[in-house]
Amino acid sequence: MATKKVLITGAAGSIGTEMRARLKERYTLRLLDRLPVPEPEGEALVCDLGDLAGLEVACAGMDAVVHLAGNPNGGGSWESLLEDNIRGTYHLFEAARRQGVKRIIFASTNHVTGYYEYEHIYTTPEMLARPDSLYGVSKAFGEDLGRFYVDEHGMGVICLRIGSFQPEEAVGKRGGDRILSTWLSPRDCAQLVWRSIEAEGVKFGIFYGISGNKRAYWDTENARRLLGYAPEDDAEHFV
């Protein structure tokens, strides 16, 4: 079976940098960012999410897109979220559709349901959104848009609600107990991404992206059952 071709957007970002290093053996990568990608593991393109035509070029010939680009800032301004996470995500989905890309892995966020956390409510992906920020609202939009592209256009879309993505060595310095529940290690993140690419029978899904944390309060049962996710890490060893 030929190696799949995978576009990673936001490839110069913190998650993108880890993902391309960890997925380069498994896939033929194309890397996109609005900034030049340092030391790229494949063809690298500079393109802003505002540039639909440029995104079409980037999507051409790809088997899947891992869409990490966007404003990752929980306190981001409305204008930047509107441009990068709403308009930009529409551009990405539309470019992928026009180019016949069959599968998108969309980097969503736990902040789509952040108000359940504030109220100490254990959360599953079947519960309605309760965003804790305009950032969370903007990612909820991406999930709904993804569902529409699945139903209307037959694409496959997997939404990963990323928890607290931190390299092992950075966790201890951050302090606080929250990460014991919300940690996503880079290797577990990479596993989630490649399992999402490979689980072609799953046409749409929303999954919390966290390691196998003993203290988790977001349900990852569906990731284990539908994607075969088997996390290798657990934040408990930081205690």
- Active-site residues, by number, are 135
Measured from the CB of residue 30, what is the shortest distance to its own copies in angstroms?
A: 25
Position of tokens 């359940």? 116
Site size toward its own copies (CB under 8 A) is 27
User: Whole-angstrom Cα distance, residue 193 to residue 170?
Assistant: 21
Quick note: the x/- pattern for its own copies over 19-58, rule CB under 8 A, is: ----------------------------------------
Question: Is 134 one of the binding residues for its own copies (CB under 8 A)?
Answer: yes
3-state SS, 120-147, equals: CCCECCCCCCCCCCHHHHHHHHHHHHHH
Q: Which one of 132, 188, 233, 234 is in contact with its own copies (CB under 8 A)?
A: 132
CA gap 150, 24 in Å, rounded? 27
Amino acid at 107: A
109 is a site residue for its own copies (CB under 8 A): no
Beta strand 164-165 with 183-184: parallel, antiparallel or unpaired? parallel
* Contact (Cβ atoms closer than 8 angstroms) between residue 219 and residue 125: yes
**164 and 185 Cβ atoms separated by less than 8 Å:** no
Tell me the C-alpha to C-alpha distance, in Å, between residue 114 and each of 28, 144, 217.
35, 17, 11
Which one of 30-38, 67-75, 123-131, 170-178 is the stretch in contact with its own copies (CB under 8 A)? 123-131
Q: Which of residues 172-211 bind its own copies (CB under 8 A)?
A: 206
Residue 133 engages its own copies in binding (rule: CB under 8 A): yes
Question: Can residue 104 be called a binding residue for its own copies (CB under 8 A)?
Answer: no
Q: How far is the CB of 141 from its own copies (least distance, A)?
A: 5
Per CB under 8 A, the list member of 4, 63, 115, 238 interacting with its own copies is 115
Q: Does 140 bind its own copies (CB under 8 A)?
A: yes
Task: Tell which residue, 230, 182, 235, has the closest CA to residue 209.
Answer: 182
**Is residue 95 near its own copies by the rule CB under 8 A?**
no
Residue ranges that bind its own copies, judged by CB under 8 A: 78, 82, 86-87, 90, 94, 115, 118, 126, 128-134, 136-137, 140-141, 144-145, 147-148, 151-152, 206
